[in-house]
Amino acid sequence: MEATNGAPQTKAGDWRSYERVLLPPVRDLHKIDVYEQHGGYEALREALTSDRWDPKSVTDEVKASGLRGRGGAGFPTGLKWSFMPPVDPDVPRFLCCNGDESEPGTFKDRQLMEYNPHLVFEGMLLACYAISAKAGYLYVRGEYADWISHMERELENAYAKGYVGENIMGSGFSCELIIHKGAGAYICGEESSLMESLEGKRAYPRIKPPFPAQRGIWGYPTTINNVETLACVPLILRRGGAWYAKIGAQRHPGPVLYGISGHVNRPGVYEYPTGMLISDLIYEVAGGMRGGKKLKAVVPGGSSTPILRADMIDGVTMDAETLRDAGSMMGTGGMLVMDEDTDIVSWLRRVTHFYHHESCGQCTPCREGAGWLENIVTRIDEGEGRLRDLDLLIDLCSQMEGRTVCALADAAAWPVRYTVTRFRDEFEARCRPSLVAAG
Amino acid sequence: MPKVTIDHQVYEFEGRPKALQFCLDHGIELPHFCYHPAMSIPANCRECLIEVGMPAIDRETRQPKLDKDGNPVIRFMPKLMTSCSQDLADGMVIRTHRTSEKVARAQQDTLEFLLINHPLDCPICDQAGHCPLQIQAYKYGPEGSRFEFRKVRKPKHIKLGPRVMLDGERCINCTRCVRFTDEISKSRQLTIIERGVRNYPITPPGVTFDDPYSMNVIDICPVGALTSIDFRFKARIWEMSSAPSITTTNAKGSNCHYWVKDNLVLRITARPNAAVNDYWLPDEDRLDYHRFNENRPDGPRIDGRPATWDEAYARAAEVLRSVPGEGILFLGSAHATVEDNYLLTKLAKALGADVPRYIPHVEPGHGDGWLRTDDRTPNAEGCRRLGIEPVDEAMIRAKMEAGEIKAVYALEDDPVAAGLFSAEALANVPVILHPYHTTNETLPVTDVALPAAMVVETVGTYVNCDGHAQRVRPAKAIRDVNRTLVLEMDKGRPDKHGTPFDRWHHEDHQVNCRPSWVSLPAVAQKAGHPMPYKGPKYIMAELARTDPAFSGATYEAMGLSGVRLESVGEAV
Ligand SMILES: Cc1cc2nc3c(=O)[nH]c(=O)nc-3n(C[C@H](O)[C@H](O)[C@H](O)COP(=O)(O)O)c2cc1C
Ligand code: SF4
Ligand code: SF4
Ligand code: FES
């Protein structure tokens, strides 16, 4: 084995023998018959028809599993469900499944939509049951046009078989699922903005409170979860929360779809437990660095999560607590790997361009700050930077972070703050030499 | 009562006020842009940030934790909160920029951001001088700028509709204008397009911003992004003076400011009054100023020939004395003030004539249930309360034909244009008229014309369709020197009068007219029926004292926001 920059032992246990559950190696699993043959919709049947389950016990089982959201923030899913207010027959309630997937470096939900769409539907139905919602929206990134029609087709099949719609499997529980084509902006993935978009409005995030459980879609109680989060739910019901809780890192358990991209030999989406060593993911799972180059940096969970230098990943595993201690975040598990030839300033320039382009423009610090950050990083990248620009960048990050309606401003500031501080020498070297002395 | 501590001072509060509004109500100024008290709270400008803390609660005892001095331990939220959206709670502790460096810095930071892409073309911007961005940037903003790049280019000179012009670059995306059309006027004619720093408000494809209330967005836009196509570039704000008054296009009496430069009214803006028009004004009210400046008379006339005021008064008195009292038709006016109509009724009574009548100007379908009414006059309710009823046209015309009308005395109206009489019908009776304009169609058959001051030149009272009595104040000067008018328009202030800052000295624009409360007593005096009033204020004081229909409506009580009168009799 090559140098791994990390200890070989992982919290994920013996990950080499891990058997995939979200994306099991089953041919044509997206077809409803195949899905049924492999235990599909059994968890739903159980939950809806057996005395063992009621909405509360389903929620409790999800709580027991320790499942945490896969949309980026890692919020405990069962706890989120329990925020829904008591059922009032006159007040509609909604589930929303977030398939907007737009964070650079993130492409794992698409895999589920393509290869295991019924698992997503089943998860949505179970969540609807648990929160007593009669309708669930699946909001899919608009650019995923092919996957939308693919899922529409499969949803029709699920309707035809009576898994969705009126009186599901004779249980008396009725639930509609609606696939909604997204409006083509990164911000539509932010939960409150997604709801505005779903309502046909401009996707401006809402101020919180009120939270979605209090006032969500059309102003009614709503729970919103990521596609991968909900796909875990049928598995939890089928095999038990205790089974799930034992997979991977104790405080952040379960299977994760790691989307590995960048300078590795085999980029792709890989299903493994949480708590995998970053080095294992790079050198074992993704086949090592392309061309045998040295690792320079890793962005562990989508472009907004703080970048880690190669020397910072020793023993670091992919779970919220460990990554926090290491100075980053789990995010979406979309890992960007960069080799020694990477121009980190150019990389940051591209990232700042993205957030500048995607700021919805509602709040001042994000709207103005994101563009200014790009301006400065671009100038540095083009060799026209001043040394004082580096301090200005950090200052602007402080002026943006935590001062806006949604977290996009933070997502725009973090890459700048951490790339500049962790690769400061490269930025300094790029600033115009003649002006270095003057500052 | 629940308490909140703001910058070390304790305040009691009721209900669930928001921190920003509560501070503003208690004289604590917090910078802000997007918040508007009449609309939803998007908290998007991020200028109004404050520190918010709550007493820490002991998990076990469920009691507030106390420090060693026995004071509650306050736990501050890690993030700054937007005061506009922050509900007050009992025990809450708030720090504003006055006590928190962190808050002051955050306000400064947001202003720095707001200014980086703002054109800073204040020298040519209509908003300069009363621009919330300009003012707050000076007060709370940074010195200079650290921004060294090209500003964002956005569309400029966009006609959103017939009356409102957009400069996209000046827009700070507060969404007030969009929220206005969504929530207040409900025309939904504006939306924000583009994303991020390229955002600006615009009409949807194929839509024109012709909302009858469109110009309100000019008032509420916190920068000069939305300007009045009518008013653009006509005057700088510091070259004008404004007078708080009401508009008179209809019976609502919406509160406004009349803006004057060179003694011409150039602009009308909304003045908040929760009892009448909130913060709003219909576009037609705003554009209703040309009539104050144009076609105005140049003094009294007798038989169409210029005369002095004294000659005209004498001639009018002669006419009145020359016919039997019961033969004189007195026409009051729903355009004229309560005071003027009241004096007319007194004169009619003194001469033994019937109670005056007024000519209604009703345009069915014009009203919208909001700030526009079918009635196109401002004081029909005031007339009704004085006992002046609408004319019975058929009856009056029959009397005229029968030769029973021997003279007509008409206040501030145009009986011929209104279709009450033809010019021929009036040709044979003497007519005394208080006209506003030289275009008055009754003038050619008028024997004595006593030009009247208009709403922007006089002092008086109007009663709106809901029985709200409101004062008007002079915004521009008339040719005459009248002590009451001079005092009411603050002209006595030496720093304003007779200096380059004087907005009224332009003699060509001073109309040679007089308030009817000057002319009527003068005529009455010469006709042998003196009216001992020192001015309109005393007339209203008498009415407020003696007539239940005007009970309480003294000038002092009406102040700037008016007095709601008791309802009397059946509604018109
Ligand atoms: C700017 C922004 C973009 C986001 N985009 C996505 C997204 O594309 N997909 C997603 O699942 N969550 C996204 N999120 C997170 C959601 O707001 C929300 O937290 C998540 O969908 C909750 O699901 P979970 O609890 O299952 O993780 C985004 C958040 C922000 C601030
Ligand atoms: S932080 Fe940025 S993306 Fe989020 S609401 Fe504000 S402007 Fe929009
Ligand atoms: S045009 Fe004015 S009111 Fe409208 S969003 Fe821009 S700054 Fe706000
Ligand atoms: S006033 Fe704009 S955020 Fe509060």
**What value does the mean pLDDT take over residues B154-161?**
96
What pLDDT, on the 0 to 100 scale, is given for residue B486?
83
Last residue of a domain, one of B178, B213, B228: B228
Is B44 contained in some domain? Answer: yes
Q: Is the pLDDT of residue B3 over 80?
A: yes
Q: Is the CB of B200 under 6 A from ligand 4?
A: no
What pLDDT, on the 0 to 100 scale, is given for residue B503?
67
Percent of chain A whose predicted confidence (pLDDT) is above 90: 94
Q: B180-219, pLDDT tens digit by residue?
A: 999 999 999 999 999 999 999 999 999 999 999 999 999 9
Are residues B81 and B120 located together in one domain of the fold?
no
Q: What is the CATH number of the domain that holds B348?
A: 3.40.50.740
Instruction: Compute φ and ψ for B542, nearest 5 degrees.
Output: -65, -45
Are residues B380 and B400 located together in one domain of the fold?
yes
Question: Which chain B positions have a beta carbon within 8 Å of A392's beta carbon?
Answer: 146
Instruction: Compute φ and ψ for A137, nearest 5 degrees.
Output: -100, 135
| Widest distance between CA atoms in chain B | 98
CB contact under 8 Å between A361 and B195, yes or no, is yes
CA B471 from centroid of its chain's CA atoms: 11
Are residues B26 and B95 located together in one domain of the fold?
yes
Q: Is the CB of B223 under 6 A from ligand 3?
A: yes
Q: Is the pLDDT of residue B572 over 50?
A: no
CA distance A263 to A135: 42
Is B260 contained in some domain? Answer: no
Is B475 contained in some domain? Answer: no
* Two structure tokens written together for B499: 């200096």
- Note whether B89 contacts A: Cβ–Cβ < 8 A: no
Q: Which residues contact B357 (CB under 8 A, 6 or more apart)?
A: B329, B330, B331, B332, B388, B389, B390, B391, B392, B396
What pLDDT, on the 0 to 100 scale, is given for residue B489?
78
Q: Which residues contact B414 (CB under 8 A, 6 or more apart)?
A: B435, B440, B441, B442
Query: What is the radius of gyration, based on Cα positions, of chain B?
Result: 28
**What value does the mean pLDDT take over residues A200-219?**
95
Question: Which chain A positions have a beta carbon within 8 Å of B47's beta carbon?
Answer: 364
How many beta-carbon contacts under 8 Å exist across A and B? Answer: 92
Q: B38-70, pLDDT tens digit by residue?
A: 999 999 999 999 999 999 998 888 888 999 988
CB contact under 8 Å between B85 and A207, yes or no, is yes
- Strand order of the sheet with strand A135-140? A176-181, A135-140, A94-99, A222-226
DSSP secondary structure string for all residues of B390-435: EP-HHHHHHHHHTT---EEEE-SS-TTTTTSS-HHHHHTS-EEE--
Is B468 contained in some domain? Answer: no
Q: B78-130, pLDDT tens digit by residue?
A: 999 999 999 999 999 999 999 999 999 999 999 999 999 999 999 999 999 99
Last residue of a domain, one of B200, B228, B256: B228
Is B248 contained in some domain? Answer: no
Which of A304, A408, A410, A414 to mutate to test ligand 2, by most ligand atoms within 8 A of the CB atom? A408
Q: Quick one: which H or E segment has residue A195?
A: helix A191-198
Strands B264-270 and B255-261, by their bridges, are: antiparallel
Torsion angle of alpha carbons B207, B209, B213, B215, nearest 10°? 170
Q: Which of A207, A392, A399 sits opposite B43 (nearest CB)?
A: A207
CB contact under 8 Å between A202 and B149, yes or no, is no
Q: How buried is B287 (Cβ within 10 angstroms: 0-12 exposed, 13-18 middle, 19+ buried)?
A: middle
Are residues B415 and B548 located together in one domain of the fold?
yes
Q: A89-132, pLDDT tens digit by residue?
A: 999 999 999 999 999 999 999 999 999 999 999 999 999 999 99
Are residues B317 and B441 located together in one domain of the fold?
yes
Of B485 and A421, more confident: A421
Q: Judged by CB atoms within 8 Å, which residues 9-68 of B form the interface with A?
A: 41-47, 49
pLDDT confidence band for B295 (50 / 70 / 90): very high
Q: How far is A209 from chain B (nearest CA, A)?
A: 9
What pLDDT, on the 0 to 100 scale, is given for residue A332?
96
Indicate the SS3 state at residue A124: helix
CB contact under 8 Å between A368 and B82, yes or no, is no
Is B239 contained in some domain? Answer: no
Q: Is the pLDDT of residue A383 over 70?
A: yes
CA atoms in the 13 A half-sphere facing the CB of A211 = 9
Q: Is the pLDDT of residue A5 over 80?
A: no
Q: Which residue(s) pair with A165 in the sheet?
A: A175
Residue A96, number of CB atoms within 10 A of its CB:
26
Which one of the ligands is nearest to B177 CA?
3
- Strand order of the sheet with strand B255-261? B241-246, B255-261, B264-270
Q: How buried is A256 (Cβ within 10 angstroms: 0-12 exposed, 13-18 middle, 19+ buried)?
A: buried
Tally of structural domains, chain B: 3
Are residues B126 and B88 located together in one domain of the fold?
no
**What value does the mean pLDDT take over residues A18-40?**
97
pLDDT confidence band for B440 (50 / 70 / 90): very high
CA distance B115 to B277: 33
CB contact under 8 Å between A204 and B106, yes or no, is no
pLDDT confidence band for B481 (50 / 70 / 90): confident
Strands B200-202 and B226-228, by their bridges, are: unpaired
Q: Which of A364, A372, A405 sits opposite B110 (nearest CB)?
A: A364
Q: What is the mean pLDDT of chain A?
A: 94
**What value does the mean pLDDT take over residues A391-401?**
98
Contact yes or no for B352/B487 (Cβ under 8 A):
no
Are residues B525 and B379 located together in one domain of the fold?
yes
Is B414 contained in some domain? Answer: yes
Q: What is the mean pLDDT of chain B?
A: 94
Q: Which of B78, B147, B175 sits opposite A372 (nearest CB)?
A: B147
Percent of chain B whose predicted confidence (pLDDT) is above 90: 89
Closest chain B residue by Cα to residue A354: B196
Indicate the SS3 state at residue A405: coil
Q: Is the pLDDT of residue B239 over 90?
A: no
Task: Give the angle subtended at the CA of B319 by the CAs of B317 and B324, to the nearest 5°.
Answer: 105
Indicate the SS3 state at residue B261: strand
Q: B320-369, pLDDT tens digit by residue?
A: 999 999 999 999 999 999 999 999 999 999 999 999 999 999 999 999 99
What pLDDT, on the 0 to 100 scale, is given for residue A2?
36
Nearest CA residue ID for atom 4, ligand 3? B177
Last residue of a domain, one of B205, B228, B251: B228
Are residues B47 and B172 located together in one domain of the fold?
no
Q: A309-348, pLDDT tens digit by residue?
A: 999 999 999 999 999 999 999 999 999 999 999 999 999 9
**What value does the mean pLDDT take over residues A379-405?**
96
Q: Which of A292-306, B419-433, B479-493 has the lowest mean pLDDT?
A: B479-493
Provide the domain limits for residue B109.
3-114
Q: What is the CATH number of the domain that holds B67?
A: 3.10.20.740
ipTM: 0.93
What pLDDT, on the 0 to 100 scale, is given for residue B493?
55
Are residues B123 and B95 located together in one domain of the fold?
no
Closest CA to A320 of A336, A296, A301, A298: A301
What pLDDT, on the 0 to 100 scale, is given for residue A194?
97
What pLDDT, on the 0 to 100 scale, is given for residue B508?
82
Alpha-carbon distances of B560 from A309, A350, B4, rounded to whole Å: 67, 58, 32
**What value does the mean pLDDT take over residues B557-572?**
84
Q: What is the CATH number of the domain that holds B223?
A: 3.30.70.20
Contact yes or no for B260/B477 (Cβ under 8 A):
no
What pLDDT, on the 0 to 100 scale, is given for residue B182?
97
DSSP letter at B480 equals S
Q: Is the pLDDT of residue A58 over 80?
A: yes
Are residues B387 and B407 located together in one domain of the fold?
yes
Kindly list the structural domains of chain A, giving each domain's residue range(s) and its CATH number in brackets, ordered by start: 19-246 (3.40.50.11540), 249-339 (3.10.20.600), 344-438 (1.20.1440.230)
Is B259 contained in some domain? Answer: no
Are residues B50 and B137 located together in one domain of the fold?
no
Are residues B534 and B435 located together in one domain of the fold?
yes
